[in-house]
Chains A and B, each alone.
Chain A
Amino acid sequence: MAERLPYREGEWIDRTQPVTFHFEGVAYEGFHGDSLSSALWGAGLRVLGRSFKYHRPRGLYSLAGHDVNLLVEDGERTNLRGDFLPIADGLDVRAVNTAGGLKRDRLQMIDRFGSLMPVGFYYKAFHTPRSLFPFYENQMRKIAGLGKINPHALRRPSPKDYAFCDLLVTGAGPSGLAAAIAAAEAGLRVVLAEEQPQPGGSLRTQHARTPQAAEQLQELIRRASELENLELRCCTQVAGYYSDHWAALVDERRLTKLRTRAAVFASGCIEQPAVFQNNDLPGVMLGSAAQRLIYLYRVAPCQRAVILTATAEGYRLALDFAEAGIPVVALVDLRHDGESSECGRLVEAADIEIFRGHTVLEAQPGPSGHSVRGVILCPLDEDGHPDAIGHLKLDCDGVIMSVGWAPNVDVAYQAGVRFTYSDQVGQLVPKECPPGVFLAGRAAGVFDLEDQIASGRRAGLQAAALLDSYDGAIAPAPIHRGPPPSHAFPIFPHKGKKNFVDLDEDLHLVDFKNAHHEGFDNIELIKRYTTVGMGPTQGKLANTNAIRILARLNGKTIDETGTTVSRPFHHPVSLEKLAGRRFHPQRRTPLHALHQSLDAEMIHAGAWLRAEYYRDGSSSRADCILHEARQVRHSVGLIDVSTLGKLQISGPDAARFLETIYTGNFSNQPIGRLQYALGCDELGVIIEDGVVARVGEENFYVTATSSGVTAFYRDLQRWALLLRMRVELINATGHLAAVNLAGPQARKVLTKLTDLSLAPEDFRYLDVHRGCVAGLDALVMRIGFVGELGFEIHVPTSGAQHLWRTLMEAGAAQGIRPFGVEAQRLLRLEKGHLIVGQDTDALTHPYEVGLDWAVKEDKPYFVGARSLQILRKQPQERTLVGLVLSQDHGVEECHLIVEGERMLGRITSVAHRTTLGMPIALAFVHPDRAREGTELQICGTGGELISARVVPLPFYDPDGLRQKLKD
């Protein structure tokens, strides 16, 4: 910690808490409160990282996350920005993008061949010969990129959350604090987001030398802390801004989706670098970075400084250095007339040599380019161009740049603010703000400290007035006075071609000239071609100079040149924070625990967990499924069908409503009877099927597909509103359980448990009755989805387990056993019953799947009627048929039916082992191939052709005698 300055009020480090950490395998010490960057610089380290393309050594530059010179990884996380990473005991990180470590990076040799790799060289060099492109691509992928993802790293849950406020203020500098205080005092609920660990902004750095700044800061913080409706969030970046005033806030742990009613952007400015030869050497840094080092971390930026400036800020910077006891070798002012303000006179009085009308032409590298050993100055002509003569060499180990600013308004841009260039301020200033969005402080082009505070207060009150919390006077907007705080073109050519414009992407001045020469003369085109602003900082230090360069090359103004589009996120956001906690709602039937106790294999079926089959000793899955199916065919089985959609539809218009929704007729459906129901969309595509039970004159009970009922119910609600029918809709899916007792012995089992008469003449096929089953109020429907005598019993979920156990006990004599979804699918396939979504797709209409009989066109209107009228008249392109396969393996669902190279259709359902003793399938084929006995070829799993024969449907019990069983 050799470079630490003496204690000063306001410093962020806690000298009583030393911290030991590791960087590149070496132990360093810092203090609690240090960032990784400040701690390493304070420890005397100068090379903190390697550049993206040329692997040039890089040092501390902005100390604000506006550069990515120090990107590190810790084995689990990568691309951590050193400027924002607090040090802690045990921290062990290494620089990204090196081969063999930071000091001995083997890829640093690329820098020597930089002249062979002008911008766009890979577009031109690596696309021919085509055969070598994979090789080039492989090599480039190895070299390119920054940190590497560790796929084995433990997942860190990130608690993404929501928050709400009246006003979001971005930036807790003087204007942001003033805005937040004014708005909160007017009664708004304010969130004040600050990306640094503590509020204060420039009051802690640029203005820190004056005692008044400290007093102002203390006063602002005191007032803010007294306001309960003002929430200050430090270490929080406003990463993006979206429609309806949604903002993304990202802090150390999480991403917060914040809904606000208004926003004030007091996000300040980003200091911009000058462009001169070797302006990326370790030791060259922005003035604001030097001030952060001096005032926040008490680290000397260098031992002998040269300050390059074009504004009063550089003179204040020189005074900061002088107060810190750091010699300033020279203050180099790009302006010929220098600084006439008080700080100019103070610098002269401090005996700091001033070179007016000069620039730093070149920073001279120390050994291996790991430091600065001096600068070469040169005078500028009247137009600001470097003169060829009069060069002067000075020794120094630091070059501090203070030549101007760019407003930090990426997020404001996303919020809809539009900007125009102001010559008076030398930067973009707001031209037009959408309702509820305000700018304040330097982001709005106001630089005087008192004006910044007034500007913030004004924005806060404007927001309060907009939200009806303030009706007092609002002062006029302050405007910038005096010379512009930014130089118009701090960019100097050099034959050495290491005068960088974009440090992220290693782009230097000539790259832009070349791109322009090749015709990329538009800001969006030059961005894509050179990749300026496409690095991890998204051009925070590059875009302004890039626009200036292009404007000059085109002979246009900044406004005519335009800017690139700013998109989220302001700073990179880790994927773990974007993903947040993953919510995957999962439904369980009330019988779930029983299935598990019966050793069921559970599967996901939409949102539901269902019993696929029940394990039986060492039997295979296929054996278990077939065994369950045979049990249903020969005796009795029990399946949990609680996942079925269960809807109650009642009211005077209930029947008419159903006739509108479904293709069938329901007005004449007798009470106590069931009817198959088919639902289509407006295009006539099948979207739903189920059973409608009429349980009263105006009351229907409807079952719907398990996975489709939620969307279907929403549709029903929409139609009920549109049609203005007197109908009540209730989705009882989760509140009712259902089981299906199926098989020739089902009647015997159920008879023991119910007061209902199950005699065939009393309880006919497709009857529905209310009654008591196992002591429970139940709705019992006689249906035959699996092709056997079956009773579907619906009870409240709380009775489901009792019902199941009682039925199993009652069926013990018949050898009852549970059967799962797979056995049910097999049984229904044998019966030729289709499953919507499996045997239909997004285009299937009823005429393709043999459901013509379910479409009743003799009614005024139903959903899809018009389309079905048209479809009925059109020649069919496919039809669903039954197939018997020639072998019991090799065919899966979605396999193609082919003839030579022509596709004739596809398999929709298949079963290799069936109770029929033959492998069967359902398939869509062209109607020409749908005739009974047609031989087809299926392209099997291994590409082999498997033959199949078209047979009539259903495969099992074509006369339906089993499900109508009377004995």
Chain B
Amino acid sequence: MNRSERVSTRQSPLQFLAAGAVATNRVVGLADLSLLEKWGAKGPGAASWLAERGVEVPQSIYASRPLPEGGLVVRVGSDEFFLEAGQLDQSLASFGELVPASADFTPVIREDAALRITGRGSLDLFAQTCGHPLQQSPMDQIIFTRVAGVSCGILPQSSGDELQYRVWFDPSYAVYLGEALLQIASELDNAASEPSV
């Protein structure tokens, strides 16, 4: 098999969430965004290289900006960037393919599991799993913390009047963390549906 026969094999490690997301959407919604393509760059030349390709590079660490064709770029370190596509059919492969061998940064394979957490119970969900005061966190700035014991990046965003949280984490934890969050979301949902005394 040669390079021209390369295959696409993307599968989400959080596939099992689909049904749960529907079941808990009254209080907390969990949407699987793992299949959105991701890519990273780390090194002193990463910022300028991205800027040359039309990416509006966030100036401060932890800030995020939209990508020109959808998706976002997050500055996750002084010289480190994380990119995520906005739609399933949007590819970031071109970034990786364009990096010359002489580049003074390292392209980074990113296969993070990703969630979007929405709903009025979102903060309750995080309160039970995360020691960071998310309610005080500025919008569109990524926070590195732990959720249910797993290292995660969390990006608070506003969508209209609603807050939502993008969560990225190591895909090997996807089943564990997805199940843990789904369990708590279900409990919050059940608690919300109990008649108040």
B-binding residues in A (CB < 8 A): 157, 159-164, 257, 259, 581, 583-590, 592, 608, 642, 648, 650-651, 696, 699, 728, 730, 732-736, 753-755, 772-777, 796-799, 801-802
Contact = CB atoms under 8 A, between A and B. Distances in A.
Contacts of B19: none
5 contacts: A159-B184, A584-B149, A588-B13, A776-B6, A799-B7
B9 A734 contact: no
A140 B128 CA distance: 41
A755 B172 contact: no
Contact of B173 (A160, A161, A585, A798): A585
A730 B112 contact: no
Interface in B1-31: 1-3, 5-7, 9-11, 13
Interface in B175-196: 175-177, 180, 184, 187
Interface in B139-178: 148-150, 170-177
A581 B127 CA distance: 12
A160 B127 CA distance: 8
A474 B184 CA distance: 45
A774 B1 CA distance: 6
A802 B1 CA distance: 14
Nearest to A795: B9
Contacts of B101: 696
A734 B170 contact: yes
Given A161-B128, A257-B131, A585 B150 contact: yes
B49 interface: no
B3 A755 contact: yes
B187 A586 contact: no
A773 B7 CA distance: 10
B106 A728 contact: yes
B173 A734 contact: yes
Given A650-B43, A772-B1, A802 B7 contact: yes
A732 B109 contact: yes
Contacts of B105: 728
Contact of A586 (B110, B132, B176): B176
Given A588-B175, A776-B6, A159 B187 contact: yes
B6 A777 contact: yes
Q: Is the interface of A mostly helix, strand, loop or mixed?
A: mixed
A264 B66 CA distance: 44
Given A588-B176, A775-B5, A259 B133 contact: yes
Contacts of B75: none
Interface in B103-140: 105-106, 108-112, 124, 127-133, 135-136
B43 A797 contact: no
Contacts of A583: 129, 148-149, 180
Contacts of A257: 131
Nearest to B7: A775
A608 B176 CA distance: 11
A651 B45 CA distance: 11
Given A159-B187, A735-B171, A651 B109 contact: no
Q: Which of A583, A585, A608, A733 counts the most B-chain CB atoms under 10 A from its CB?
A: A585
A589 B172 CA distance: 6
Contacts of B110: 735
Contacts of B173: 585-587, 734
Contacts of A161: 124, 127-128
Nearest to A589: B172
A588 B172 contact: yes
B52 to A, nearest CB: 19
A161 B149 CA distance: 13
A730 B13 contact: no
A516 to B, nearest CB: 48
A734 B111 contact: yes
A589 B105 CA distance: 28
B106 A775 contact: no
B167 to A, nearest CB: 14
Contact of B127 (A162, A642, A730, A797): A162
A772 B187 contact: no
Contacts of A732: 108-109
Contacts of A799: 7, 9
Q: Which of A163, A776, A796, A798 counts the most B-chain CB atoms under 10 A from its CB?
A: A798
Contacts of B108: 648, 730, 732
A694 B20 CA distance: 45
A730 B133 contact: no
Contact of A162 (B3, B131, B148, B149): B131
A854 B114 CA distance: 41
A801 B111 CA distance: 14
B170 A796 contact: no
A590 to B, nearest CB: 7
Given A164-B136, A796-B109, A587 B176 contact: yes
Nearest to B148: A583
Given A159-B128, A798-B111, A799-B9, A772 B133 contact: no
Contacts of A590: 11, 13, 171-172
B149 A585 contact: yes
Nearest to A775: B7
A735 B106 contact: no
Given A585-B150, A797-B171, 9 more contacts: A161-B127, A163-B127, A586-B176, A592-B175, A650-B43, A754-B1, A797-B111, A797-B172, A798-B9
A576 to B, nearest CB: 15
Contacts of B9: 776, 798-799, 801-802
B136 A753 contact: no
Nearest to A774: B1
A369 to B, nearest CB: 39
B100 to A, nearest CB: 12
B172 A734 contact: yes
A162 B1 contact: no
Contacts of B133: 162, 164, 259
B64 to A, nearest CB: 20
B106 A648 contact: yes
Contacts of A755: 1-3
A649 to B, nearest CB: 9
A777 B148 CA distance: 33
Contacts of A164: 133, 135-136
Contacts of B136: 164
Contacts of A651: 43
A696 B119 CA distance: 47
Nearest to A642: B172
A608 B173 CA distance: 9
A777 B93 CA distance: 12
Contacts of B180: 583
Nearest to B2: A755
A706 to B, nearest CB: 11
